[in-house]
C-alpha cells in the first residue's frame, strides 16, 4: 500500500532528528526560553526582515488557531472565514467553544476575496449581531489553492479600511511559497498580515508551528495567554530545536519543494491517464476525480481521502505528497493506470 493520505504521517527529517539527538543530554531552560528557541527565532526574523516580530512555538495548528482567535477577539466579536476553512470544518468547533462565532462565507476554490469579506461586513450591521473583527485565511488553502500577491494586497487593504485583523494560517505555507504559480515571498506576508504562522508539523518536523505576531498592539502579555490556554510546552526546546534545524539553512523550503515536485509528477500522471481535477493543482494537495469503479480497485493499493461525490458515477479524492514521498510511490500510480486501462 502506498499512502497519499496526508503530509504528517511520517516522523521527521533526519537533520531534525540529528539535532534533537545531539542536544538530547543538554539541560535546557524550559518554556521556550532556551538557546535553541532563541536561535530559531533569530533565523526567522532574519528571513522575514522583521527584528521586532514576536515569535512563539506552539505544538499544533488547531491549538495555534484557537489561541490566536480567542486571544485577540473581544467576547462579542467574530472571525470571517471561507466555508472550507480549517477553523470552520476540521477543528471540532474549537473556535465556537471559546465563545467566538466563525462566519463562514461560501468561496470559490477555498479563497476569500474583498467582495466576500464586504458581504459579511454588510450583513453584520449592529449590536444585535456578532461584530466581525478578524479575517482568517490559509495558504495553501484546504483545497490546495494559493493566494497571489495581488489577492493578498487587496485583502490587506479591505482589512485596514474596516479595522479588521488579518490572520494567515500557514500550516502548509512552505508548499504555497515554493509552488510554481506562487508570486509571494515570506517577507510580503510579514508586511501584509497582522499574524501568521509557519507550519512545521506538515513540513518535516515531528510537531510544531512558529506563530509570528507583527501587529504591535497584539504583543503585550501574549505569553500569559499561551500559558493560560495550555499551549506553552514545558519542554519548549523540543520545538525550538526543530525550527532551528528547519531554518538554519534552506531545509524548510527544500522539503516543501520536494513535496510539490512529487505532487506535480503525480498530477501529470493523472492528466496523462485522462482524468480531471476538482480544483486546479497548485501545491502538494491535489484533488483528482475518478470513476467509482476505478476507485474500488485503487483503494486496494493506495491510501487517500474521499472529498466529494461529483455525480452518480464519479468521486473527487485528495492525494497529498510530503517531504518523505518517494518517487516509487508516485510511479506506482502510473503502473496502476497501465494495468487498469
Helix (H, G, I), strand (E, B) or coil at 35: helix
pLDDT digits (tens, 9 = 90+) for 23-55: 999 999 999 999 999 999 999 999 999 999 999
- At residue 330, does pLDDT exceed 90? yes
The yes/no answer on whether domain 2-7+252-339 falls in CATH 3.90.1150.10 is yes
Note the Cα 61 to chain centre separation in Å: 8
For residues 10 and 174, give the distance between their C-alpha atoms in angstroms, rounded to a whole number. Answer: 17
Does the N-terminal peptide bond of residue 156 adopt cis geometry, omega within 30 degrees of 0? no
What is the pLDDT at residue 341? 84
For residues 223 and 19, give the distance between their C-alpha atoms in angstroms, rounded to a whole number. Answer: 26
Instruction: Report whether 244 contacts 237 (CB < 8 A).
Output: no
pLDDT digits (tens, 9 = 90+) for 161-214: 999 999 999 999 999 999 999 999 999 999 999 999 999 999 999 999 999 999
pLDDT digits (tens, 9 = 90+) for 135-163: 999 999 999 999 999 999 999 999 999 99
Sort residue 229 into left (φ over 0), alpha (ψ -120 to 50) or beta: alpha
The yes/no answer on whether domain 14-251 falls in CATH 1.10.1060.10 is no
Q: What is the mean pLDDT of residues 276-304?
A: 97
> What is the domain partition of the chain in residue ranges?
2-7+252-339, 14-251
Beta bridge partner(s), residue 44: none
pLDDT digits (tens, 9 = 90+) for 63-106: 999 999 999 999 999 999 999 999 999 999 999 999 999 999 99
pLDDT digits (tens, 9 = 90+) for 215-247: 999 999 999 999 999 999 999 999 999 999 999
Amino acid at each position: 500500500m502506498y499512502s497519499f493520505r496526508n503530509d504528517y504521517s511520517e516522523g521527521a527529517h533526519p537533520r531534525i532528528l540529528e539535532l534533537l539527538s545531539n542536544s538530547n543530554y543538554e539541560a535546557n531552560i524550559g518554556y521556550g526560553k532556551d538557546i535553541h528557541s532563541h536561535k530559531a527565532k533569530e533565523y526567522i526574523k532574519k528571513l522575514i526582515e522583521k527584528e521586532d516580530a514576536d515569535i512563539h512555538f506552539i505544538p499544533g495548528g488547531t491549538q495555534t488557531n484557537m489561541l490566536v482567535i480567542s486571544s485577540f477577539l473581544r467576547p462579542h466579536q467574530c472571525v470571517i472565514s471561507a466555508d472550507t476553512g480549517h477553523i470552520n470544518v476540521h477543528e471540532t468547533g474549537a473556535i465556537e467553544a471559546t465563545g467566538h462565532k466563525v462566519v463562514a462565507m461560501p468561496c470559490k476554490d477555498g479563497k476569500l476575496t474583498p467582495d466576500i469579506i464586504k458581504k459579511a461586513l454588510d450583513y453584520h450591521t449592529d449590536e444585535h449581531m456578532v461584530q466581525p473583527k478578524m479575517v482568517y485565511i490559509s495558504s495553501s488553502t484546504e483545497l490546495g489553492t494559493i493566494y497571489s500577491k495581488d489577492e493578498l494586497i487587496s485583502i490587506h487593504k479591505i482589512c485596514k479600511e474596516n479595522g479588521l485583523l488579518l490572520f494567515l494560517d500557514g500550516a502548509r505555507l512552505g508548499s504555497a511559497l515554493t509552488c510554481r504559480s506562487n508570486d509571494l515571498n515570506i517577507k510580503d506576508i510579514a508586511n501584509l498580515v497582522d499574524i501568521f504562522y509557519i507550519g512545521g508539523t506538515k513540513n518535516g518536523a515531528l510537531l510544531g508551528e512558529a506563530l509570528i505576531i507583527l501587529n504591535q498592539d497584539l504583543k503585550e502579555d501574549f505569553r500569559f495567554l499561551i500559558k493560560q490556554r495550555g499551549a506553552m510546552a514545558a519542554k519548549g526546546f523540543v520545538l525550538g530545536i526543530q525550527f532551528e534545524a528547519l531554518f538554519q539553512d534552506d531545509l524548510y523550503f527544500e522539503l516543501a519543494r520536494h513535496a510539490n515536485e512529487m505532487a506535480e509528477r503525480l498530477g501529470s500522471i493523472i492528466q496523462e491517464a485522462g482524468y480531471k481535477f476538482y480544483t486546479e493543482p497548485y501545491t502538494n494537495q491535489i484533488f483528482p476525480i475518478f470513476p467509482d469503479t476505478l476507485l474500488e480497485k485503487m483503494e486496494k493499493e493506495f491510501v487517500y481521502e474521499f472529498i466529494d461525490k461529483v455525480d452518480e458515477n464519479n468521486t473527487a479524492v485528495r492525494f497529498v505528497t510530503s517531504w518523505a514521498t518517494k518517487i516509487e510511490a508516485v510511479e506506482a500510480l502510473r503502473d496502476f493506470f497501465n494495468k487498469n486501462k
